[in-house]
Structure 1
Amino acid sequence: MTPRLRPVFATFAALVLCATGTPGVAAPRVAYAAPTGTCDGYPRLDIGMAKGFCAGLVIGPTAADRTRPMRLPRSLLQLDDGSWLVTDLGSWDGANGAIFRLRTAPGGVPALTRVLDGLHMPHAIARGPDGKVYVGEMSRIFRFDPDAVDARASIEPVVTGLPDNRLHDNRHPLSKFVFAPDGALLVNVGAPSDQCLRADGTPPGRTCPETDGDEHAASIRRYALQSPGQWSRDYTVHARGLRNSVALAVHASGTVLQGENSYDFTTRWFPFDEINVITGGRHYGWPYCADVAAPTPGWKAARAMDCTSNAHTPPALLLPPHSAPLDMLWYDGAMFPALRGRLLMTWHGYRSVGGRIVSYATDARGVPVPDRNARYPLYGASSRAYGAAPAANAVVMTPGWNLAAGRRPQGSPVGLAVAKDGAIWTADDRAGLVIRIAVDRP
């Protein structure tokens, strides 16, 4: 989710330190219950799964053992059959991040080795076209060789000079990136604020300087490929008006999808988060528009953008309000034939619509197919109507990941990865877990 204002950090960190002894990491009020039984060889977690699925604990604290080997695990990359890299954000401030190598096997004891440390909020991780491992750290993207004798000495900066929290207390600082079909690097630059308004709730000018000025925030930047393994030091603004593009994915057809973490309005049911099809040169509305074509309250009077006009590119699909999509991919594994080609997505949001992994049917471009009269799930009730289009009914793979006293906290899934055997891996950063979703068998 979105990092909160820096003035809150000091007080929060002090409380956390007293409670856990680990700076910057909140101990969940409810721990996961001790696993009972197994899920395809891994200890079975008490998460209510859709029929045919189960959730196995790879590593992380439960009531049986509260040891927390990673602070805020976020994204995962498989190296070989029994070895993974995991980014650990560390905290929302300071150089507390790390990258771990996780070795594990069904029925075995996981082994965790720190490969890199002293990083500033490492989040995204991916294998590059050159075979090296690329990492999105606050203010830069670098690559390295995890098998090097000295992994730190193998670090090579790829993109530098990205914005960071030294400029704005509540900037969205995570450097998510994807490799475009033409080889370019597309990089998320989150908005420095929630709504681009002054403290009194009024616009700072005729338009928002954060996205439509020289700051080039709330955008996706494009770094052109110059030669194999080398990208331009300069960038172009590929798409703008995007509050926070932590969820980015490129389909085999070449379609680029973005999961929009929309405004933090206090109302529970507005606005919707979004899935956007990213096209170069388009403006997706932040901070002037929300949902399909609704002007935002703070900017409505300024008339900076007609949200019903071609100046605003509407979303391809509405997501539940405050669901906070943090990762997505198209399933291509063998373990779950019914998921082949479907878009998987994590909803990290702390509200009643969050704490889920879902899937959507897609068209040939990889774009989710809208449904008529779509509804979205929420904990504490069955579902709620979107009341607007386009939207789709998600298949919820984790219907029972709500807070259950004495059994589990509400889930907070972040990264997604499909293993070579077709299992689905994810990380729950708030609870400090790495989880393996497999076919439901012991």
Structure 2
Amino acid sequence: MRRFGLWFFTCAMCIFGGGTAAYGQSFGVELHNTLMPASGGMGGVSIARPQDLTSALNANPAALTQFHGTQFIFGGGWAEPTFNLTQTSNIPSIGTPLIEPFSAKSTAPGTPLGNIGLTQDISELGLPATFGIGFITTAGGFADFRHVPESHGTNTGQTIFNMPVALGVDLSDRLAIGASLSLGIAFFDGPFVGVGGMTSDYALRGTLGMNYLLTDSTTIGGYYQTAQSYEFDNAFLLNPGVGQTSADVEMDLPQNIGIGVANNSMIDGRLLLGVDVVYKLWDQADMYQAVYDNQLIVQLGAQFTHGRYRFRTGYTWAENPIDNTPGANIGGVVQPGDLAAVRYTQGLLAITSQHRISFGIGVTDVLPGIDMDMMAGGMFRDTEQLGNFTTSSIESYWIGLGLTWRFGRGACCETLAPDSWSDI
């Protein structure tokens, strides 16, 4: 049974922050910075020189030292995927089927999502450091085939929010380090053959980062992020009633390693180019190690500044994470139907598109001390054959907008706001 209080809180959080619908624009199930107001327009590039503070909170905390004064950002977005699933045999193949052949589009709707952050430098205390806190939509997805009788109520979803607390410190004029600790809350309805229910859990995640100003125009950065380990009690239920079988599900967001470089040496410093490389260790993540392989992601981004305007574009290549030799044990659950059931679960988690593009624009001082960033992106359609009987296809687009209030100097070690508004 799903308790009303849990459903109420889940729905409220989805309206406020929103999970990604149908695993649209994520890497596996994790978003990284692809939906941040500024970084999202650059393909998520943000490790060395993030253009919005929530990107630093969510990835490399050492980059927080680039944000001066007091800054607050409120960002939101909309993700709209198209997810199709085809199953051509019964699961299990012998006996009463839990899944029958069908082909349908998921009815999970597009959803809103949000990212909020606040940074404060503490240089007035004589400390070369910046402190930040935030509320970040980290991961998630929904797929719903309950409108198809043959799916026997197939419906899965997960949403993960994180509340990071981070600190970046300048050790010298060129070297900065940072660390963050994040509390995550996850809502999970497992992608299993059988009966599941929405359950929740909390978990911690840590991040260590470093930035180095290699030249006056080139910055390199990197970070390591720990796994975030959840355990969902009684998340899997088979044959409800007398003699029912239930199991807890262990699920990790994976360890991440990111390296980035950014350069603004061209066109008098008005053209910023960035490259990020992220490696995701799915093979060491509970539950996902059975369905995903380790994944490499390459993000390319550019930003051109013209007066008060910043024009952005980005491209991302993401390695297909699907494991061609999946394991039978998925987070502690062994499903009826053997390999066919595992492949069906993979189909519900198949974010296989390798190519994504994005565009964005930023406007400085739309009102005194307030900047606005807008972005849009898309993921090209991809179809994946999973074993002999399951096929999935996915494509999506997303849009986003954010407002940043800057009290004092602006981001990226550059003064964005004038000293006196009467001078405008």
Q: What TM-score comes out, normalization by structure 2 length?
A: 0.28
When Rg is computed on C-alpha atoms for both structures, the one with the higher figure is: 2
The structure in which a higher percent of residues are strand is: 2
- Where relative contact order (Cα < 8 A, 6+ residues apart) is larger, the structure is 2
The structure in which a higher percent of residues are helix is: 2
